[in-house]
């Protein structure tokens, strides 16, 4: 009887693999394939070891930089260095009061960059919850698009992934400075105050608005 039970157990084992089998923890050192039409559901986390790849997962297309604004500030400068500002070389330099570069030259704005903001008192009217686009050809900034009593809630910058701007690059040093049309946020001694972004997120799609 024991021998028969042993054989039945072995014969059922492959069937269990093809059925639904929750696994609390697992490690795979080889290769795994989910057949076409099948589904692999993960309710926890997938961790890839060094050199490992996962095909078919949505890859990020852009980095989303969010800057929360405070009263008195309507615009921002966003900069990116890959050597923590040692050499002065910038991979991103966006000055929202003059994105067109009419007065501020030397800006580095990657192709495909998008900038959005929320505000009250928008001269274009509309819901204050609306997310508004700031064209890269603009030379007036967000401050010129709101009333004298209006306020800017946040500014969000989407920058496409590139050979440098990618989530696995550990050398990305983002810095932001809040400002009005002409004055940077400073300390009492007149030093420009740079901040890390409030949030950095890698996104798999660009917004449709």
Could you report the average pLDDT of every consecutive run of 10 residues in the chain (209 residues)?
44 48 73 77 72 75 98 98 98 98 97 98 96 97 96 98 98 98 95 98 96
Q: Collapsing DSSP states into helix, strand and coil, what is residue 131?
A: coil
pLDDT, residue 192, reads: 97
Cα–Cα dist 175/190, whole Å: 18
Contacts of 145 (CB under 8 A, 6+ apart): 119, 122, 123, 124, 132, 134
Helices (H), the chain: 2-18
Which residues of the chain form beta strands (DSSP E)?
62-68, 75-81, 92-95, 114-119, 132-133, 152-160, 173-179, 199-203
Domain boundary assignment for the chain: 62-203
- Percent helix, strand and coil across the chain, each to the nearest 5: 10, 25, 65
pLDDT, residue 188, reads: 97
pLDDT, residue 8, reads: 38
Q: Give CA angle at 116 (111, 122), nearest 5°.
A: 140
pLDDT, residue 4, reads: 45
Does pTM surpass 0.85?
no
């Amino acid at each position: 009887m024991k021998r028969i039970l042993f054989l039945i157990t072995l014969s059922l084992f492959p069937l269990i693999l093809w059925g639904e089998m929750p696994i609390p923890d697992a490690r795979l050192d080889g290769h795994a394939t989910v057949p076409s039409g099948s589904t692999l559901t993960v309710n926890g986390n997938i961790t890839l070891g060094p050199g490992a790849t996962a095909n078919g997962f949505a890859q990020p297309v852009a980095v989303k930089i969010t800057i929360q604004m405070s009263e008195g500030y309507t615009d921002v400068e966003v900069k990116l260095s890959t050597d923590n500002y040692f050499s002065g070389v910038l991979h991103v330099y966006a000055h929202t009061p003059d994105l067109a570069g009419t007065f501020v030259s030397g800006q580095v704005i990657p192709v495909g960059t998008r900038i959005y903001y929320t505000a009250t008192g928008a001269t274009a009217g509309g819901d204050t919850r609306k997310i508004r686009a700031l064209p890269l050809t603009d030379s007036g900034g967000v401050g010129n698009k709101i009333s004298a009593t209006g306020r800017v809630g946040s500014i969000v910058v989407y920058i496409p992934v590139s050979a440098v701007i990618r989530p696995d690059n550990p050398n990305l040093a983002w810095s932001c400075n809040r400002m009005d049309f002409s004055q940077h946020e400073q300390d009492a001694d007149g030093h420009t105050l740079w901040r890390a972004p409030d949030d950095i997120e890698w996104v798999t799609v660009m917004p449709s608005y």
